[in-house]
A and B are shown apart, each in its own frame.
Chain A
Amino acid sequence: MSIADSRRGRWIAALLVLLGIVVALELFAGVLGVLVDIVDANYLRAVLRLTVPIAFAALGGIFAEKSGVINIGLEGLLIISAFTSIAVAGLLGGGDATQAELWIGFGSAVLASVLFALLFAVVCIEFKADQIIAGLAVWLIALGLAPFASKVIWGQVNSPPIATLNNWTLRIPTTDVVLFDASPPVFMMLISVPVAWYALNRTAFGRWIEASGENPKALDTVGVDVRKVRYTGVLLSGFFSGLGGAGLALGRVGQFIGGGTTMVNGRGWIGITAYLFGNYNPLGAFGASFLFASLDALQIRLQQLGYNVPSELIGIIPYVTVVVVLAFVGRTRLPSAAGDHYESGEE
């Protein structure tokens, strides 16, 4: 009963937060009509593209944290994969890389991100490093390494532009009616989200991940290797972040920008807020990512219509939201053993 109550309370509070945001925007925008004007197919397309890196980072974060390893290095993994994708594709094909070369770049980027995540996993699981510090290290290393490597390869922190992945078009079979036309990472995201949800909620693997984060001793008792489960969780976070970073670089921009906070520009951090907001549920995390991305897109549109919404203000919405959600929306469902090392009792 009390669980159901607190859950309902949480939802009501979440709705209130949402409502608050909408009202705040309304105050800026003035009229509802503007919103109706803005939301169309193009807007949706723009939002989906903005969602990609955020949602992938969030999916990755869910697997790692549910298994008991808090991975706050997602931003770093995005940077590494964005850089690697452009570096590999650019070295193979130069300015006009073929689609095949771009896909090799894409694959290498995912691999690089997974390897980086492996490094993180080894440090956290084998050497029992503090997960938060190790995660920060992942970010800081990536923040320095990617621009440095850019300088070595291109002599400057920004890469020259290369091609981007061609759109995939979904047609109704045997007709010419286009159902959906988007860049491949968007398709991957729309597939990954339900798959991740299914894996976490309907498979044995999902229950292991859950147990590894909630009660690793129980998992150990029934004979499942907690370390293996945690490694898998972290590697999956590397895999998804790899898709996100390469998707940002090859699916949209076709260039690596390494100045300042790099082209990733905080999307990994927003990913973390997205899965916290979505309460570790892939569908919720996707919804939160989509919400944050759509606020960003909305802000862009409102600016053009002469409503001057400061972009900095929109930029902090995810963080404000997550503070509100964590503080007021009831007991946060952080996995109980997240952040703790687990030592099998047998030795």
Chain B
Amino acid sequence: MSEMDPQRRRLLKIGGAGIVGTGLAGCMGGGGDDESTTESDETTEESDGGDETTASDDGEETTMSDPLNVGMVYATGGLGDNSFNDMAHQGVQDAESEYGVTFQNSEPTSPSEVESLQRRFAQSGDYDLVCCIGYVQTDALTTNAERYTDQKFMLVDSVVEMDNVSNYKFKEHLGSFQVGHLAGLLTSEDFSAGAGETTDDLVVGFVGGEEVPLIKRFEAGFSAGAKHANSDVEVRSAYAGAYNDPGTGQSIANSMYDDGADVIYHAAGGTGNGVFQAAQEQGRFAIGVDADQSKSLSEYSDVILASMVKRVDEAVYRSIENVVNGEFASGGIQSLGLGEGGVEAVYGQQLGSEIPDEVKSALDTSRESIIAGDIEVPTDPSNA
């Protein structure tokens, strides 16, 4: 390992330098010559003695120090979840196009891998910022932030109180209240759009991934919102116990729809795709989470009323921006709510236009009241 790492790092550097070189060359127009010179230079240096190679390495390090280098450790759902992780990925890509930062992705397949992935980034010392996405990373980061005090970290969805960690939390319960309000209003009336329609029953549902405080906040907000719309609405909720099991998600959703649920809101990552599948089969509605899922999962846009968008991209982007500007918020906790644009209810691409105007204006009103503090939104379902 110890022999492998420097080697790989050098490869990365050369690759990175190549990319920077190509980019510059592209800007300057007639860059063909430049590029070939660089390449031939490198070959000669490589073929020369070992000392020479080290020298060239040092030279490259200086060119590399200009753009920021970001290490991304995603949550266990993996990229392609069409929500949480993909949003984070979007954020770093935005930073890439805006500030030309370079980044390296890593996707843990289980919570136990998180610690070593963080450590690998921190150990190499090549990364100006390591973004840790998801609450799974909390324990591992507590260890690593202590061990690598010079490494800047950012953490989404949780808090580690260390000077080298900048924390970003979202007030998911507020956004969930909004979509709960929407679900409660729509189940109370006869509404049909796209592939779904409501029944006479006043039932809405919530499907969670794992039963942890974070996901319970979604449930609490949703449930309070639905009851705010109509106190007769019954809210059913169940947890699948996993974020990667659409089969179970589908079973849960099916049983809720069978019991007359009109709208189901999920906060369950890939498990939630089973909810959309069930909604289509049964001709009812669903509400997406984290990203605008009517866009990212356009196959289901005919049943997705809205999505509770959590601007993870914004958090990742902002944290990188702060480091670029030298304003790294050390040890700070950024809490992003409705007013700060951290969470919001985004209407579905296809169904959004069919949602009645009075429903939309009711949602706007409750949004204002929440921001003004007139509506208290619970964070624990037992108080909802």
Contact = CB atoms under 8 A, between A and B. Distances in A.
Interface residues of B, number: 43
Interface string B281-293: 0000000000000
A257 B273 contact: yes
Given A157-B80, A161-B277, A304-B238, A253 B250 contact: yes
B79 interface: yes
B352 interface: no
A310 interface: yes
Interface stretch (B118-126, B159-167, B241-249, B371-379): B241-249
A341 interface: no
Interface in B225-247: 236-247
Contact of A50 (B76, B241, B247, B258): B247
A311 interface: yes
Contact of B243 (A42, A254, A259, A304): A259
Given A154-B80, A304-B256, A304-B259, A253 B241 contact: no
A139 B128 CA distance: 38
Contacts of B247: 50, 53, 248, 252-253, 263, 265
Contacts of B251: 46, 49-50, 296-297, 300
Nearest to A46: B251
Nearest to B74: A259
Given A42-B255, A49-B251, A157 B107 contact: yes
B184 interface: no
Contact of B255 (A46, A53, A261): A46
Contacts of B110: 260
Nearest to A253: B246
B347 interface: no
Given A95-B299, A161-B297, A300-B252, A265 B245 contact: yes
A160 interface: yes
Given A95-B299, A300-B252, A304-B255, A252 B277 contact: yes
A238 interface: no
A301 B78 contact: no
B369 to A, nearest CB: 29
Nearest to B89: A156
Interface string B161-185: 0000000000000000000000000
Interface in A147-197: 147, 150, 154-162, 164
Contacts of B317: none
A262 interface: yes
Nearest to A310: B211
Contacts of B344: none
B319 interface: no
A147 B246 contact: no
B81 interface: yes
B300 interface: yes
Contacts of A332: none
A256 B307 CA distance: 22
Contacts of B255: 42-43, 46, 297, 300-301, 304
A303 B252 CA distance: 10
Interface of A: 42-43, 46, 49-50, 53, 95, 147, 150, 154-162, 164, 248, 252-255, 257-263, 265, 296-297, 300-301, 303-304, 310-312, 315
The 3 nearest A-B residue pairs measured at CB: A156-B80, A311-B241, A259-B78
Given A46-B251, A252-B277, A258-B80, 17 more contacts: A50-B247, A155-B80, A156-B79, A157-B107, A160-B299, A162-B299, A252-B250, A253-B273, A255-B273, A259-B78, A260-B78, A261-B242, A261-B244, A262-B244, A297-B255, A304-B256, A311-B211
Interface of B: 76-82, 86, 107, 109-110, 205, 211, 236-248, 250-252, 254-256, 258-259, 269-270, 273-274, 276-277, 297, 299-300
